[in-house]
Amino acid sequence: MAVAGVKGWKTPTTSGDEYATLKVGMAFGSRPFPSSCNQFLDRTWTDVSTSVRYCHITRGRTHDLDVFGPDTCEMVLDNRRRLYDPTCTTSVQAGNVIPGVPVRVDVAIPNGSTNTIYTGYVEGWGLEYPGMLDATVTARCANGLKFLALSNINNTTANPIEGARIDVMADAVLDAAGWPSGSGWRNLGTAYTSGTDYVANEAPALEMLRTLADMENGAFFVDISGKARFVNRNFWADDMKTNRATFDDAGKHVPYTDIRISRDDGQLYNRVVVSSVSTHNPSTQSHAGSIASYGERTLTRLGLYMKTTGDADALGSWLVTRYARPGTRVSRIECKPRTSTKAWDLYDNTSGIGIGAKVTVNRRPPGGGLIRPVCHVEGIETTIDVGNNDWTLAFDMSPAELQPTP
């Protein structure tokens, strides 16, 4: 694919400055989950990069007690030639400008690598005519998590999702929802918790998968490669224990342009109640020292499909250990990638900053001293304004100190 006009990061070379650039592709005529595709990117892509005027991408969640919603992308395209007009019968894409078109957004950097920063599907095409002289279309996109939110499962007591380890049950829910099988479409980590039979009556598959994730206190999402992902409770502490980047306000490491740091009670809980449909009495775990310091603060996990009371006790104990004390988190940090070549690694496929990545932030506030929280990335937001040649990258984070390993 050719590159769009917006420039990302700059690096001086003997032949002049070189820039990272935006690349956008759409797979017109491809169904969301064709049997011929072994993975999301296994399609024929049409380059639309030169039509892109604006792109806003959101991925992940705001903090670690939030659920993962569909990753979204809002893309404004030049439509003066009616290339992306669903009502135009003479366009080369006539009949293909419909909901469900697969979309990919990549970044190409000067060393030759191309890194994917978004994958999803067009929800709708919005035609606009600014000043009645221009023509644009806004493609609103969401990733595969939306399909799971709209796919309902209705099983019976004679044919439930059978009790097993949580990742095995999640695999069965994906099967029931019609999600493609194979390693190119699924990556389910091994859970520590097992569940009992799960009977649903017209329940969205995503709701069921989130319930299973709550039983493990892990997470379920669709990753940048289009795979359904389940991660266990120790994903952040164990799989993501290596520091992937250091943000710095003094010209070292990766520079940033804005930051918000918080130590609040949004992730402070010292009493946890876990109930299961298979047991009569809920499990209650508490932390006396935290209650004495902050007052009682209750977190509930109700209506789960835990296999035993011991499993409920273990989950409650783990949650109390994790949230009994407040942590310091970077609730928002923003970068302008064009200002420094050090920002390249933030989008690199090998060492880049994805969901769950561990990072360190250095802030030297007025008045002296150093604030140095260590965090895990929970959400990523990218805004690219081609007309104004502006590129902003922002992260939402959770405290790494709230990630104990049992």
Tens digit of pLDDT for each residue in 115-138? 899 999 999 999 999 999 999 999
> Would you say residue 94 has pLDDT above 80?
yes
- Answer yes or no: same fold for 7-143 and 149-232: no
Other CB atoms within a 10 A radius of the CB of residue 137 amount to 21
For residue 29, give both structure tokens: 């005529």
**What percent of the chain is predicted at pLDDT more than 70?**
90
**What percent of the chain is predicted at pLDDT more than 90?**
65
The matching CATH number, chosen from 2.60.120, 3.60.15, 2.30.300, 1.10.3470, for 7-143 is: 2.30.300
Question: Which 3 state secondary structure label does DSSP give 149?
Answer: helix
Q: What angle do CA 278, 284, 285 make, to 5 degrees?
A: 130
**Per-residue confidence (pLDDT) for residue 2, from 0 to 100:** 43
The residue type at 80: R
The third-level CATH classification (topology) of the domain covering 149-232 is: Phage tail protein beta-alpha-beta fold (3.55.50)
Per domain, the residue ranges of the chain are 7-143, 149-232, 236-263+328-402, 271-323
Cα(256)–Cα(248) distance, rounded to whole angstroms?
7
Q: Are the C-beta atoms of 180 and 225 separated by less than 8 Å?
A: no
pLDDT band (50, 70, 90) for residue 349: low
Q: Are the C-beta atoms of 393 and 337 separated by less than 8 Å?
A: yes
List residues bridging with 128 in a β-sheet: 136
> Would you say residue 163 has pLDDT above 80?
yes
Write the pLDDT tens digit of every residue in 260-313.
999 888 889 999 999 988 777 889 999 999 999 999 999 999 989 988 888 889
pTM as predicted: 0.92
For residue 142, give both structure tokens: 């969401």
In the predicted model, what is the mean pLDDT of residues 145-166?
93
